[in-house]
Homo-oligomer: A and B are copies of this chain.
Amino acid sequence: MTINSNKKATVSFESLLKIFTVPEGPESTLTQIESALSHNLNAFLNDHIVAEEKPLADIERDFAQAQIPDEPEFVSVHTDHLLEKVVAHSVHTASPHFIGHMTSALPYFLLPLAKVMTALNQNLVKIETSKAFTPLERQVLGMLHHLIYQRSDAFYAPLMHSASHSLGAFCSGGTVANITALWVARNHALPADGGFAGIAHSGLNAALRHYGYDDLAILVSERGHYSLKKAADVLGIGQNNVVTIPTDEHNRLDLAAFETTLTQLKQKNVCVFAVVGIAGTTETGNVDPLPAMAKICQRENIHFHVDAAWGGATLFSDTHRHLLRGIEQADSVTIDAHKQLYIPMGAGMVLFKNPSALQAIEHHAQYILRAGSKDLGSHTLEGSRSGIAMLVYSSLHILGRRGYQLLIDQSIQKAHFFARLISEQADFELVSKPELCLLTYRYVPHIAVKALAIATQEQQNKLNALLNELTIFMQKKQRENGRSFVSRTQLTPLRWSSYPIVVFRVVLANPLTTEDILRSVLDEQRHLAQQATSLLKMIEADCRAILDQS
């Protein structure tokens, strides 16, 4: 199918109407691609995504033109171009060898369902452009609310579709979910009061003046997601007022330090309006001491938000649900469906314990979101939104709670296997143990293991700096070679006296990742390390010096 049937694409209103009414022909490139995707997605991705990385600068040359082309292009010509320039150099996020980020393979049924969603092109900001999708999304929010808070049917029955209540808000992802939670918390802390109209109407400055605070703050462990600082900036709190609390050796918020900081801030007349607990840190996958944090927040009347964007899905598992104990006491919880719920990109949620909480950010307008309407847009940060809730709805039904439980259980099991495997190697160091399905490690040549064990602090730091360079070199090389992918981050383990250590970071959510693949990743990395010849020489020289001294 082309804009019209002539050899050269030209444009007339009649030909334009065709692109809205006449589908691609059965022999067209695009129809064939669609069919290949439906027939064998993994084969299509393996065949069309080039493994070895093309340098970014080379790719950029294909996307250099700022002028919008004046003349139309044949769909078939453009499709070939997309295959060669875009698909070929995209990232194979569904590959079982791609274990570096939280993006995984998707269940097959989601592809046709996503097509249905696109074809329906609903806008969930209001009922007039979404109808059944509005109660559907509300039910999905209700189901996730139940997953966390486990309230009775009698609780949900009058609330699920109430115009004056919201069990949560759907959004594009965890960042918007976190911003929404903190926005609600901020507005609740500084509400209307007598002649004062509240922060939502009068602004932060007037609110602090009215309530007599010197400033606002959010508390979170040093492992908090970067979106919290972004949220603090957006919300007018300021990034520096995200006060970070040190963590223990398991990357969990240190409760004593938390209490001390709280006291200090109170003495400074700073209003701590939100505390964020993490259920699955982005870097290490650990869970904060949620019950103790909840208790302190209740005592201090502080909004307790839990960022479970990634880890929240653990609640599906009877086996591992206990790891998130205390989450049911949170005032709000972030969960991303595009992470461990295996939904395509763009599906985040924030749930609120109190079904009236979202009234703190309620908005109305004349043409939509009229007061009393059930338009979802009156309680979301975003306006127009797609019907992606349908994909969550379908997955919750087709997989069922037990299906998700199996996925979670096998992910965590696989992470424990990989942790054992790493620990068994003489030349790898497990840096953070998996609590959920995430772990970090690094490559340490055997001689360096021995040298580090007896080195002075200064020698350790020097050696660790070299090892950091080695880790960065290996991670980049591994990505460029395209056989497998792990990500990297920087941690400050107590074992190395809080010196910043660069580590490989692995997320084992893809059900297609096998134990053999994990073995091959270590083999490949060991092999890659050998390519860093000059770095290895420097490391060896340093180690010899340390070992010779002793």
Question: Once bound together, how far apart are the Cα atoms of A235 and B88, in whole Å?
Answer: 40
- A453 CB–B CB distance under 8 Å: no
Closest partner residue, chain B, to A502 (CB atom)? B366
Minimum C-beta distance from A487 to chain B (A): 6
Instruction: Write out the residue numbers on chain B whose beta carbons fall within 8 Å of the beta carbon of A16.
Output: 399, 403, 406-407, 511
Give the chain B neighbours of A130 by CB distance below 8 A.
90-91
Tell me, in angstroms, the Cα distance from A172 to B171 when the chains sit together: 9
Q: Are A127 and B56 in contact (CB under 8 A)?
A: yes
Q: Name A193-238 residues within 8 Å CB distance of B.
A: 197, 199-206, 208, 214-216, 225-227, 229-230, 232-238
Which B residues are in CB contact (< 8 Å) with A101? 123, 128-129
Q: Is the CB of B123 within 8 A of A72?
A: no
Contact of A132 among B39, B86, B187, B390 (CB under 8 A): B86
Task: Determine if A256 is an interface residue (Cβ-Cβ < 8 Å).
Answer: no
A258 within 8 A of B: no
Q: Which of A42-101 contact B (CB under 8 A)?
A: 42, 44-45, 53, 56, 59-60, 62-75, 78, 81-82, 85-91, 93-94, 100-101
Least CB separation from A174: chain B residue: B383
Residues of B within 8 A of A40 (CB): 23
Q: How far is the CB of A349 from chain B (nearest CB, A)?
A: 13
What are the 9 closest A-B residue pairs judged by CB atoms, nearest first?
A: A236-B236, A203-B238, A175-B383, A89-B132, A204-B236, A367-B489, A226-B365, A63-B139, A66-B156
A149 to chain B, nearest CB (A): 10
A116 to B394, CA, bound (A): 20
From the candidates B38, B142, B407, name the one contacting A66 in the complex (CB within 8 A).
Answer: B142
Which of B19, B132, B138 meets A90, CB within 8 Å? Answer: B132
Stretch at the interface among A27-35, A324-332, A444-452, A459-467: A27-35
Bound together, the chains give a CA A282 to CA B368 distance in angstroms of: 11
Cβ of A426 within 8 Å of any chain B Cβ, yes or no, is: no
Interface pair B485/A385, CB less than 8 Å apart: no
Q: A30-B109, A135-B63, A511-B20 in contact; A282/B367 too (CB < 8 A)? A: yes
Given contacts A93-B121, A238-B199, contact A176 B387 (CB under 8 A): no
- Closest Cβ of chain B to A51, distance in Å, is 12
CB closest chain-B residue, reference A108: B23
Chain B residues near A383: list those with CB within 8 A: 173-175, 227
Q: How far is the CA of A283 from the CA of B53 in the complex (A)?
A: 49
Q: Report the nearest B residue to A384, measured CB to CB.
A: B173
Partner pick for A78 among B93, B111, B344, B397, CB 8 A cutoff: B397
Q: By the criterion CB–CB under 8 Å, are A367 and B505 in contact? A: yes
Are the CB atoms of B89 and A203 closer together than 8 Å?
Answer: no
8 other A-B residue contacts (CB within 8 Å) besides A67-B146, A85-B132: A64-B139, A65-B139, A114-B118, A174-B384, A199-B236, A201-B233, A202-B240, A234-B381
Interface hub of A100, A200, A487 (most chain B Cβ within 10 A): A200
CB 8 Å contact bits of A306-320 with B (1 = contact, 0 = none) = 000000000010000
Contacts of A215 in B (CB 8 A): 203, 205-206
A521 proximal to B (CB < 8 A)? no
Kindly list chain B residues whose C-beta atoms are within 8 Å of the C-beta of A90: 120, 122, 130-133, 387
Give complex CA distance A345, B387 in Å: 8
Question: Can you report 18 residue pairs joining A to B where beta carbons are below 8 Å apart?
Answer: A16-B399, A16-B403, A20-B108, A20-B511, A31-B112, A56-B131, A65-B139, A68-B401, A69-B400, A87-B120, A93-B122, A93-B123, A118-B344, A173-B385, A204-B238, A226-B369, A227-B383, A366-B490
| A78 and B398 form a contact (CB under 8 A) | yes
